[in-house]
Structure 1
């Protein structure tokens, strides 16, 4: 009896979390997968149509245009976030004055919701009421259509996305840097290695596990970025900042085509899964960082 209780006790401790996870994650995901094979407007019963939504998806020029914009956004945000957060971490890991203050300043945006960040940048970059254009006007310069021009709107969305998350990943890199033994750098200095050589042969290879986590998490976050863009540009001007998640929302809750929206959600899941597998494969191909 005691052995049985000892075996079952750990599962009882995780059971509440497992129930919550199943109710809010597993069951909705499975139901969404089922809905992707149906035609459903929420008000009527789902009608099974097989692969109809996926065929419609692959034949839609709008979907491929949205996917292209999404990939441009993601492959802009992720490298910039990765590089900037690593540089900030390396700088703020050194013994410099007020490094705690600067760490807090860069980390502060990560404590704000994406809605708050989107509203803030909209007030800063607005054409008629924006703070930045007001300052340009005081300086005698012409105002800039920050959020009503497709090119500048895309650039500003990328900038705001990086600004919102770079501090979070900076902290992760700082933790990774503090896990590197100092004796490695001492030995490198004795051998006459430059700072660049130390970074190339010690810092960067030993940050490989942290780098993988940062790339995977930042990729997932970029693909599912919704609140910031929805509030900041509402997907405009036109549809220049309408990405895959925004389109899923529009199809589901504005058009009312839940089946088509669920099919796009399944495609997003497959894309994220494929990119994550590729990232792990590329990381493992490099070998062990400690070898």
Structure 2
């Protein structure tokens, strides 16, 4: 029986390894190679570092990169706070209707990112949107959700938080219910307030989970594409064109595959550096007592 289990285990490992090499490692190697070539989908001509030189002289690249950093810098704390707040409420003994609330908050995870973008575009359309319809019903003026860059950015931000809430909620709930109840009971005996229990018991106890949620959120926002593409298509103008949209535009619409590959390599380095720094400063997701 043990030998048979080893065979099955080895088979599953080999299958996963083949899939990893075929769909992750090989495309990554091709991306590195294409970043040093002038490739339009037909013939790849080696040009060395020319793509990278042109990239770091391109104002459009810096504009999309700065928007991506802003989107991530604002979005990650917003997603973290909302996810943690909802999770704390859903595990609280004082909250009523928790089972129904869990189902409602879980629903966005079952929806495709493209559908999420279309749904929020319908809600926040300027001439046909549901939100502007409600505003007009109560006597207000319709808001330029699509033609104003700031409003469009806010819509993308809220749609992102709504879309990622469910997954983070599941992770946080699992961490929160594993905290020993004796810690809270001891805090109550010592006269600790709700905020003190949250600050000195809850947050330190879920530090590893917080590390995971923040890391995944950074990755998700830095690479966000289908939801933003279907919601704003990078507009108005290029006000919501983030780095992945820029890669798509140059690689597929302009057929500059080599140049787009160079941008992809820059994005990979940024994510790698962030991961290493966060892992170092949090000691692998652990916080010293």
TM-score, normalised with respect to structure 1: 0.94
**Distance in 2 between residues matched to 1:58 and 1:10, nearest whole Å:** 47
Residue 160 of structure 1: aligned partner: 159
Say whether residues 1:195 and 2:199 are aligned partners: no
Distance 1:204 1:87 in 2: 12
Residues 105 and 4 from structure 1, CA distance in 2 versus in 1: closer, same or farther, beyond 3 angstroms?
closer
**Aligned-residue offset at 1:91:** 0.9
| Matching of residues 223-234 of structure 1 within 5 Å | 223-234=222-233
Report what 2:144 is aligned to: 145
CA displacement at 1:6 relative to structure 2: 8.6
Q: How does 1:46-57 map to 2 (within 5 A)?
A: 46-57=44-55
Residue 92 of structure 2 corresponds to 94
Q: Is the 8 A contact 2:215 2:275 kept in 1?
A: yes
**Is the partner of 1:47 in helix, strand or coil?**
strand
Structure 2 unaligned regions, length at least 5: none
Q: Secondary structure at the match of 1:193?
A: coil
Equivalent residue number for residue 283 of structure 1: 282
State the 1:10 CA deviation.
3.7
Rate the CA distance shift 1:6–1:171 in 2: closer, same or farther, 3 A: closer
SS of 1:284's partner is coil
Alpha-carbon distance in structure 2 between the residues aligned to 1:124 and 1:243: 22
The 1:285–1:237 alpha-carbon spacing in structure 2 relative to 1, beyond 3 Å, is: same
Structure 1 85/191 Cα, relative in aligned 2: closer, same or farther at 3 Å?
Answer: same
Q: Structure 2 CA distance, aligned partners of 1:52 and 1:172?
A: 44
Shift in Å at residue 282 of structure 1?
A: 2.0
How far does the alpha carbon of each residue in 1:17-61 deviate from its partner, in whole angstroms, 9 at most, with x for none? 211121111101111111001000012x21111111111111112
Q: CA RMSD in A?
A: 1.9
